[in-house]
Amino acid sequence: MGRVMVLGTGLVGGWVADRLAVEGHDVIGVDTSASALEGRDPRVICIHGPAGIELLEEYAPDVIVNALPGRVGDQIRFDLVTQGLAVADLAFTAEDPREHDELAIEAGACLVYDVGVAPGLSNLLLAEGNRRHGRLVNGRVRVGGNPVEPDDDWSYMAPFSPQDVIEEYTRPARILRGNQTVIVPAISERTLFEVEGRGEMEAFLTDGLRSVLDTVDAENLTEATVRWPGHIARFIALGDEYDEKELLESWGWNPQRSEFTWMEVVVKGDGRTRWVLDDQGGSQGSSMARTTGAITCATVEHLLETDVPAGVHPPEALGTSFLDRCLTHYAANGIRIVETRER
């Protein structure tokens, strides 16, 4: 067990802080929002205020969890690395954390980034497909967190920072096509398809492949976000005149509304494997908090128990033992992943 400081105790960070405390770690939760600290497990030491170097020096954590919104999380990443800390980083940003690799090595820091569902678990499964089937002809990720039932409005509520969702919808997507990294417009190549047990949904390309463009040997790779039909068409219709504040209010999280997280990873090389994660929120927390938080907790455990070298690492760089650890955490939290394998 170790001392873990969680920066940002919102929907996902709060779940992580509570779960780590239940597992027996000494946990310090830090957030500028007093409401985000309310209701935490009584074993979590709650600090209301910004994260700073003084706080890091006072509590001397063994591992930091960066669960801050993307823009803020990227700003603090440099400080965490220069302090020589071990970091589980789930702050999704357009910036590539690997730009801090040399600095991390010099400072003796170890930062594992993109520790979420996708990117995160998706990276590990694509890499596993590589190990099983050799060079991949095709690799596809489709993923989304959505309300169980659509409505006549947006049919969506943001499980993490709504600003990050807007950036996801507007940032061009990098995919691998014909052995070449290609940049395509955000939310392009919209496709309607059937999600087992859920109904017809819509997928569109987003920029979620990130490190696997370099680490997975494949001819074609794509990542798509999944929403209820009509959601992204409404966003597109707004053009450049969308009101960010209005969207943040419209996409606000409603804990009383049932929601689920669904992800499909399909790889094809000299054989084919398909993984499907389908998790619905409930008394144990929201599905996105659980599915993101489980891999984050696995990362914390891995950093505490193994000798991960200094530097900045994507999750797939930690190998099969880390994938096994993540799957164990998913199973322990009742999150089911169904695998279908064909030769």
Query: 17: which 2 tokens?
Result: 């802080």
- Given the candidates 3.90.1150.10, 1.20.1740.10, 3.30.360.10, 3.20.20.30, the CATH classification of the domain at 121-285+337-342 is 3.30.360.10
- Taking 70 as the pLDDT cut, the residues of the chain under it are none
CA dihedral 330, 334, 335, 341 (to 10 degrees): 80
- Given the candidates 3.40.50.720, 2.60.120.620, 1.10.1660.10, 3.40.190.10, the CATH classification of the domain at 3-116+291-332 is 3.40.50.720
Contact of 286 with 159, CB cutoff 8 Å: yes
pLDDT per residue over 94-118, tens digit each?
788 999 999 999 999 999 999 999 9
- Give pLDDT, residue 40: 96
- Give pLDDT, residue 81: 94
Say if strands 259-268 and 272-280 run parallel, antiparallel, or are unpaired: antiparallel
- Give pLDDT, residue 145: 95
Domain borders along the chain are 3-116+291-332, 121-285+337-342
Distance (Å, whole) CA 226 – CA 146: 8
Distance (Å, whole) CA 226 – CA 224: 6
- Give pLDDT, residue 248: 83
